[in-house]
Structure 1
Amino acid sequence: MRPHALSIAILLSIHHAHASETEEIISLPLIQVDAEQLTLVDNVVKVENQNADNKTLGDALKHISGVQSSAFGPNAGAPVIRSLSGNRVQILEDGASIYGMNAISGDISIPFDPLFSQTITVNKSSDSVRYGGNAIGGSVNVDTGLIDQDMPDKNANLEVVAKKGWNDFNAKGFKLNLNNQHNFSTNFLFSTQDISSYKIHGNSKASVCNTALFPASGGTNTALADACQKEARIQQVYNTASQPYIDQFMTENPDWADGTFSFYTDQPTSVWSGKTYINPENPDYVPDTPKYTQNKINRDVTPDYKNKLGNSYFENQHYAIGSTYLFDRGYIGISADSKKSEYGVPGFSLENKSFQANYDDGLPVGVKTDQRKYTLQSQLNFESPFLNQIQFNTNKLINTSGEYLGAEIANRYKFDTQQAELLLKHQPMKLLSGFVGLNYVDRKVKGQGELRYLPDLNTQTQAIFIKEKLDFNWLELDAGYRTERVEHKVQDSDFKTSRNSPNVELKDRKLNLDSFNVGSYLKFNDLIGLKLRYSVSERAPEINELYASNAHYSIMLQEEGNQNLKEEKSKNLELTGLIHYKDFDFEATVYKMKYDNYLYLTHSGLQTANRLPLKYWTQTDTEITGFEIDVKQKVDLNYYGNLVLSAFADLVKNKNLNPNEYSLFNDGNYLPNMPTNRYGANIEWEKNDWSARLSSIYYDKPQYLGKNVSQEIPLPAYNMVDLQIRKHLKLHNADFDVFLNGSNLLDEDARPQNSPLKYIAPLPGRGFQIGVSMKL
């Protein structure tokens, strides 16, 4: 453990005195999760999920400034926080990591229940102190509500939800709670969602797949052609009208000809073997025309669908049970949870066949995921100030994710993870509180299939961390520190690296990490405040960055890891200003994240035999800068109800600070596939039993573009307009909500710039859901 002292000067900041002013609450009732004692210094947003039209976890968070979705088609969308995702954003369920192939391969969805996931907590700041290196870019924690921490008000509660979709999924499910109003409470849950395919506006492939493949400067944009799943090449064709005579000798002796051009000549006579031949005039001759013309071949490797998104089917099932024993000083709860999904990856084929192949028999890509989770949570409360609470949580997570080429397995990986965490909370004095934690993770990864790109591996992580808070009401000081050890062990298997791999012999890696953060908030008065936060975080290279080799079709490249890569380190500075006046709230955040040894895939400038670009995991220094602005105004309309007007804007840049000549030419100054800046606006209205929400998010045309040897082609701006209308009814002992959801009301051709499939699979077109939820 390196001696980073918690005595580092505490930085000042501010936030509202009330929790409701600290967190942006989106939608309806909030359920708190007291697993980590979040402080007012943390940049945290909590989102309710009730009756919302959320297709993926990333989609559920799109109204949060600074957070977008990876949008790998409509069925796989992971949160992208300030341009960071994957291995840098820790995804948790009830405080425990659900890390799997979803962090490594973008087409693998995060197991998520869009019906009954209750509260989603997003920390947009580095959360490495609490959740380790994989939270270097923030964390997202989904509360399932399976294990009750308090006794429900009634001894039986039933919630039933049914949704019917038009260009949106159908859904149904129930959640049943039974308890004895004393010490036992049990929850049963079932939900399912499905859709056969999505409709879109226009063609599935972007117009630039036809207009920008052959630049005016000449040649072919091969990177764009690969992203568009196109066969694009220029063929030189001899122009038979370019020469005035037909070669008589070649006409009489065609076996001597070396191509079409051999039959034509500029000379009226030709001499062969001492004999003179009179060459007749070419009747097609056109003076001053070039000898060769270009035939620009543009063929689809995968279909370009019209008004539909091919291979976009989706099926999801969730079964769960959770039971809690509550007693005077705490509780003990257990749960078993099963989530299964099967869906298509639209517009995409694993078969990048050679040029001039027959593409008609190409097979679509399907994904199947199966996550089973077994959890034990416990909490014991004490009256002692030096130890007032013990939390012990452990779970076993088995996540199996497979890519299928037609009906055949391309690759399948099983993540078998066991986690345990112990939290010791204390409050030795009124102003001071905090906790000390121990964390252990053992993760085994095994793969199969002809298209494997990872060896079998076992990763063990041990960590100890501490967070402390001083609360003076008008001033809160916060500090935390974590030391972590990560060890990757290569297991025996038949996995072979490619001839392009820098890893000749796979070796184990051990890495030691240290992270800390300091911050505070200062409330000058009831009107104005400031918040400042500083953190230093470290992340160990993950298994794909170290050991990947061979074709990784889901990210459309030949991926080669490097087992000698160093740990990644970020230094983050974040400043927030706040204004609160009556029913008006304003919050603006600027941030700067300096990364040493930032891990990314650099383009080699070459393609492999299957036409996939060859890329290597490498490191550079980068700087991520950006801002987020949130504004909210409440308006009392008296007889006409209440109105809430809100808006946000965000922008992020991820710049390579020290590119060498090689990476500057191939990758550019900015990393590709970065989120663009957005401008959002919401109108929420409520009166008695009626409520409605109209929202708009404008995604601007990207300004900071990367390269894949060729310059990244920007896509047009678009505006996503959504609508929710709800009517609450009460009949006898039952409460009903009848609702209508509308998405992409403008039927835009929406292609997120950060989506790997942006050129071949837009977001779904206009869609609607009607539904009803009943509570007894």
Structure 2
Amino acid sequence: MKLGKRTTMHTKFLFTISVSLMLVVSHISFADEVALDKVQVSASGQLLDDVAQPVRVFNQEDMQQQNGDTLGELLSSLPGISNASFGAGVGRPVIRGLSGNRVKMAINGTDSADVSAMSSDHAPMVDAANAEQVEVIYGPNTLRFGSGAMGGVINMADTRFHEMPLQGTRVRVQSSVASANEATSLSASLDSGFGQWVMHMDGFTRSSENFTDGNGDEVNNTSTESQGMNVGLNYIQANGNAHGVAVSLLNYEYGVPNPDNHNATVDPSQLRLDAQSVVFTPFANVEKIKTQFTYIDYEHGENFDDTVVGLFDKTATEFKSTLSLFDLGGWRTSLGVQLSLQDLDVCHDHSGCDAIPNYSDLSWDGSEGANLSNDIVDGYRFSHDTPMPLTQTQDAGVFWVMERDWAKGLLELGARLDQRTITADPVSIRPSYRQQASYYEDKTFDSASMSAAMTWRIDAQKIGVSVSRSQRAPAADEMYWNGDHHATFSFQLDNPDLDVETAYSLDVTWTYEQANYQIQSAVYYYDFDGYIFNDPKSIVDPFHGNPVYRNEQKDAWLSGAEWQLDYNLNPQWQWFVRGDVVKAQLKQGENKNLPRTPPLTTSTGVKWMFNQWQINSELKHYAKQSDVAENETITDAYSVVNVYGSYSQTLGASTLEFYVKAHNLTDEFGRNHVSYLKEFSPVMGRNVTLGATYQF
């Protein structure tokens, strides 16, 4: 099933949310005490102190204090994480300078299966409006999610699935308004238990207008609108086995800033169906088996002056089963299998895309098309038709993760084997623009990844060391896309000769904790064989005169550091310092710098808490980035001041909290070096948000 038009989805979302909230209000029972599941690190079920490689967790309170709604904005306050923004509607996290396919996005442990890694104007279909927590996972545990997550995994965990019975009902409602872009937001969630059944419902709606930058100028085409909902139903057996199903709908529409102020928008929509089963002690020596199934139906249109010039249709199916063994010789072991199938169809036509084109009725002898042969610049063939064939990507992987305590800490080991097969069908491309038939033959890639991590506890210190060899196969779009990208004002060339990318990494962490302060730090180094990167060419495309890029493979290295100090001055006051720096270069070439590498970032501030009151203030500095790639401009330094204050009041079994937050309080003008659109979309100016959260 393919989704309907955005306007239809919009109406369905609002209707469903309204009805859901009315049902919530009319059927809530307060008689029973709430006993919710404890949300743990979703990758392994462990507590944070029980993992060798650090896992950063962002909870609801952390997210409430941040400016913006995208994952990139929410997580960018963490050391080592940047926001690859594309206007106000897109914010994909960049971890240690790595992004795209090297940072895996997941929802409750399974792939988000969107197209956000394909292009910077595509929004991740992971929304934290009603999330319990967002986890940033490194080290061996990333192997549970798939191959190629060299930067890490962003996993959004919510409560659509429950593995423990729930007595009573929990409701959370949040609403806010903001000044710089006239943003409004409303979200609500409900978890309710009745007998052996547990139900989850949540929904949200958000909208914003064009924002103003630090100079007071309006940034055109930065308005956004989004709605979403999740419904889950779980059955927990008397023996502890838990089974659940969930359905999710998510819809965005956002503007794309551009130099000519055209009305350019993108409107992705996604239907997601999930099923999960947890069975305890099914066999001897087996603690539990967790099985997950996900089906996703995704589409988005790219609109230019009210014409749909781009259309993306994607369906994805994923099956994952993880078997956890009882302790054997002190080792806690998990084994798993993960299978996925993804179909991607695209249309790109200046005259309009009503559907994915099908030219199967046109004859073709398997030779290269005449138009493709004529449009050659510098030896590269330029297509002015559907930019890539229909593709199907089949992934099959097995993984093994084990851990044990030792006298001074924890040891973790992991390994994963994957095979990817990509099938291409040129039926959507007119024969005059097709490559030779051999170009579309199936491609198969085998990859193997291994990781080990260990911690040592020495009095108040904890030292962690992680080493890994990670591989990732190229994605279909990295190999086959040959066409214009309106949103990025560029032309992307194909490269069917891409091969498996390999990274060797070393990560060392140090934590020192005393009664009134804690220091956390990390240094890391990545060595890449065949690093896939979008290489700018010294030509323009023959159709639009846009810059030309092509995915190439060259050896590269990346290194950096992160640090954080939290110092309790007294029971009410805390002072903190945070920062990160990363350097990324090719090993050969005249200009070795890789593009959009995050600048040195530092921040300092104080937190004050007293009874129901809390005030946080922060000064964050983004240094000048002069280590730029070819055809990339230097980005000047800037600083922002952020302030957050809240007051909470307990009302019987409920809690009411009011909050105010001011982002970029001094109205500083700046540009985000990690953004493709830094020249057209500066950072937002002063933005004051008022909000309230009610929980019972």
TM-score by length of 2: 0.85
Q: What is the CA deviation profile of residues 594-616 of structure 1, one whole-angstrom value per residue up to 9, with x for unaligned ones?
A: 00000112222101131211222
| Equivalent runs, 1:517-666 vs 2, <5 Å | 517-525=451-459, 527-609=460-542, 610-637=544-571, 642-659=572-589, 664=590
Deviation at 1:503, TM superposition (A): 9.7
* Structure 1 partner of 2:94: 80
Deviation at 1:741, TM superposition (A): 1.7
* Structure 1 partner of 2:420: 486
Q: Residues 503 and 563 of structure 1 are in contact (CA less than 8 Å); yes or no, is this contact kept in structure 2? A: no
Gaps of 5+ in 1: 1-28, 203-305, 350-361
Deviation at 1:729, TM superposition (A): 1.4
* Structure 1 partner of 2:298: 399
Deviation at 1:725, TM superposition (A): 1.1
d(CA) in 2 for partners of 1:496 and 1:604? 26
- In the alignment, residue 579 of structure 1 is paired with which amino acid? Y
Q: Structure 1 residues 490 and 501, CA, compared in 2 at 3 Å: closer, same or farther? A: closer
Deviation at 1:497, TM superposition (A): 9.6
Q: Structure 1 residues 148 and 385, CA, compared in 2 at 3 Å: closer, same or farther? A: same
* Structure 1 partner of 2:320: 421
Q: Relative to structure 2, which stretch is displaced further, 738-747 or 333-342?
A: 738-747
Q: Residues 140 and 453 of structure 2 are in contact (CA less than 8 Å); yes or no, is this contact kept in structure 1? A: no
Q: Residues 140 and 414 of structure 2 are in contact (CA less than 8 Å); yes or no, is this contact kept in structure 1? A: no
d(CA) in 2 for partners of 1:555 and 1:66? 25
1:45 corresponds to 2:60? no
1:368 corresponds to 2:368? no
Deviation at 1:507, TM superposition (A): 2.7
* Structure 1 partner of 2:244: 333
Deviation at 1:385, TM superposition (A): 6.7
* Structure 2 partner of 1:156: 169
SS at match of 1:133: coil
1:676 corresponds to 2:599? yes
Q: Residues 502 and 561 of structure 1 are in contact (CA less than 8 Å); yes or no, is this contact kept in structure 2? A: no
Q: Residues 192 and 200 of structure 2 are in contact (CA less than 8 Å); yes or no, is this contact kept in structure 1? A: yes
Q: Relative to structure 2, which stretch is displaced further, 603-612 or 379-388?
A: 379-388
d(CA) in 2 for partners of 1:487 and 1:617? 19
1:437 corresponds to 2:347? no
SS at match of 1:129: helix
Q: Residues 415 and 450 of structure 2 are in contact (CA less than 8 Å); yes or no, is this contact kept in structure 1? A: yes
| RMSD of aligned Cα (Å) | 2.2
Deviation at 1:733, TM superposition (A): 4.1
Deviation at 1:128, TM superposition (A): 5.3
SS at match of 1:316: strand
SS at match of 2:665: coil
Q: Residues 278 and 288 of structure 2 are in contact (CA less than 8 Å); yes or no, is this contact kept in structure 1? A: yes
d(CA) in 1 for partners of 2:599 and 2:502? 25
Q: Residues 164 and 240 of structure 2 are in contact (CA less than 8 Å); yes or no, is this contact kept in structure 1? A: no
Identity %: 19
| Equivalent runs, 1:1-150 vs 2, <5 Å | 31-37=39-45, 40-50=51-61, 51-52=64-65, 53-125=67-139, 129-150=143-164
Which residue, 183, 186, 190 being the options, matches 1:176? 190
Q: What is the CA deviation profile of residues 577-630 of structure 1, one whole-angstrom value per residue up to 9, with x for unaligned ones?
A: 221122211122111100000011222210113121122211100000111111
Deviation at 1:408, TM superposition (A): 1.1
1:318 corresponds to 2:326? no
d(CA) in 2 for partners of 1:681 and 1:309? 29
Q: Residues 390 and 428 of structure 2 are in contact (CA less than 8 Å); yes or no, is this contact kept in structure 1? A: no
- In the alignment, residue 444 of structure 1 is paired with which amino acid? D
Q: Structure 1 residues 503 and 567, CA, compared in 2 at 3 Å: closer, same or farther? A: farther
Q: Structure 1 residues 310 and 400, CA, compared in 2 at 3 Å: closer, same or farther? A: same
d(CA) in 2 for partners of 1:741 and 1:401? 33
d(CA) in 2 for partners of 1:503 and 1:383? 50
SS at match of 1:347: coil
* Structure 1 partner of 2:7: none
Q: What is the CA deviation profile of residues 181-204 of structure 1, one whole-angstrom value per residue up to 9, with x for unaligned ones?
A: x311111111101012211122xx
d(CA) in 2 for partners of 1:73 and 1:46? 26
Structure with max Cα Rg? 1
Deviation at 1:149, TM superposition (A): 2.4
SS at match of 2:545: coil
Q: Residues 114 and 125 of structure 2 are in contact (CA less than 8 Å); yes or no, is this contact kept in structure 1? A: no
* Structure 2 partner of 1:200: 213
Q: Residues 721 and 743 of structure 1 are in contact (CA less than 8 Å); yes or no, is this contact kept in structure 2? A: yes
Q: Relative to structure 2, which stretch is displaced further, 555-564 or 128-137?
A: 128-137
d(CA) in 2 for partners of 1:80 and 1:126? 19
d(CA) in 2 for partners of 1:498 and 1:473? 68
Gaps of 5+ in 2: 1-36, 351-385
Deviation at 1:427, TM superposition (A): 2.4
Q: Structure 1 residues 348 and 30, CA, compared in 2 at 3 Å: closer, same or farther? A: farther
d(CA) in 2 for partners of 1:376 and 1:173? 24
Q: Residues 441 and 460 of structure 1 are in contact (CA less than 8 Å); yes or no, is this contact kept in structure 2? A: yes
| Equivalent runs, 1:176-325 vs 2, <5 Å | 176-180=190-194, 182-202=195-215, 307-325=217-235
Deviation at 1:493, TM superposition (A): 2.2
d(CA) in 2 for partners of 1:128 and 1:173? 30
Number of paired residues? 616
- In the alignment, residue 125 of structure 2 is paired with which amino acid? P
d(CA) in 2 for partners of 1:475 and 1:383? 31
Q: What is the CA deviation profile of residues 618-651 of structure 1, one whole-angstrom value per residue up to 9, with x for unaligned ones?
A: 11000001111111112334xxxx2232221111
Q: Structure 1 residues 503 and 600, CA, compared in 2 at 3 Å: closer, same or farther? A: farther
SS at match of 1:437: strand
Q: Structure 1 residues 44 and 501, CA, compared in 2 at 3 Å: closer, same or farther? A: farther
1:730 corresponds to 2:663? no
Q: Residues 503 and 547 of structure 1 are in contact (CA less than 8 Å); yes or no, is this contact kept in structure 2? A: no
1:774 corresponds to 2:685? no
Q: Residues 232 and 245 of structure 2 are in contact (CA less than 8 Å); yes or no, is this contact kept in structure 1? A: yes
Q: Relative to structure 2, which stretch is displaced further, 117-126 or 131-140?
A: 117-126
SS at match of 1:715: coil
Q: Structure 1 residues 320 and 190, CA, compared in 2 at 3 Å: closer, same or farther? A: same
Q: Relative to structure 2, which stretch is displaced further, 745-754 or 593-602?
A: 745-754
SS at match of 1:747: coil
Q: Structure 1 residues 753 and 499, CA, compared in 2 at 3 Å: closer, same or farther? A: farther
Deviation at 1:500, TM superposition (A): 12
* Structure 1 partner of 2:359: none
Which residue, 669, 687, 690 being the options, matches 1:749? 669
Q: Residues 43 and 141 of structure 2 are in contact (CA less than 8 Å); yes or no, is this contact kept in structure 1? A: no
* Structure 2 partner of 1:215: none
Q: Residues 503 and 561 of structure 1 are in contact (CA less than 8 Å); yes or no, is this contact kept in structure 2? A: no
| Equivalent runs, 1:382-393 vs 2, <5 Å | 382=281, 386-393=285-292
SS at match of 2:120: coil
Q: Structure 1 residues 67 and 196, CA, compared in 2 at 3 Å: closer, same or farther? A: same
Q: What is the CA deviation profile of residues 537-561 of structure 1, one whole-angstrom value per residue up to 9, with x for unaligned ones?
A: 0000111211010112223221112
d(CA) in 2 for partners of 1:34 and 1:551? 39
* Structure 1 partner of 2:380: none
Deviation at 1:522, TM superposition (A): 1.1
* Structure 2 partner of 1:689: 612
Deviation at 1:55, TM superposition (A): 2.0
Q: Residues 55 and 74 of structure 1 are in contact (CA less than 8 Å); yes or no, is this contact kept in structure 2? A: no
Q: Residues 500 and 560 of structure 1 are in contact (CA less than 8 Å); yes or no, is this contact kept in structure 2? A: no
d(CA) in 1 for partners of 2:504 and 2:141? 12
* Structure 2 partner of 1:408: 307
* Structure 1 partner of 2:411: 477
Q: Relative to structure 2, which stretch is displaced further, 492-501 or 444-453?
A: 492-501
Q: Relative to structure 2, which stretch is displaced further, 32-41 or 87-96?
A: 32-41
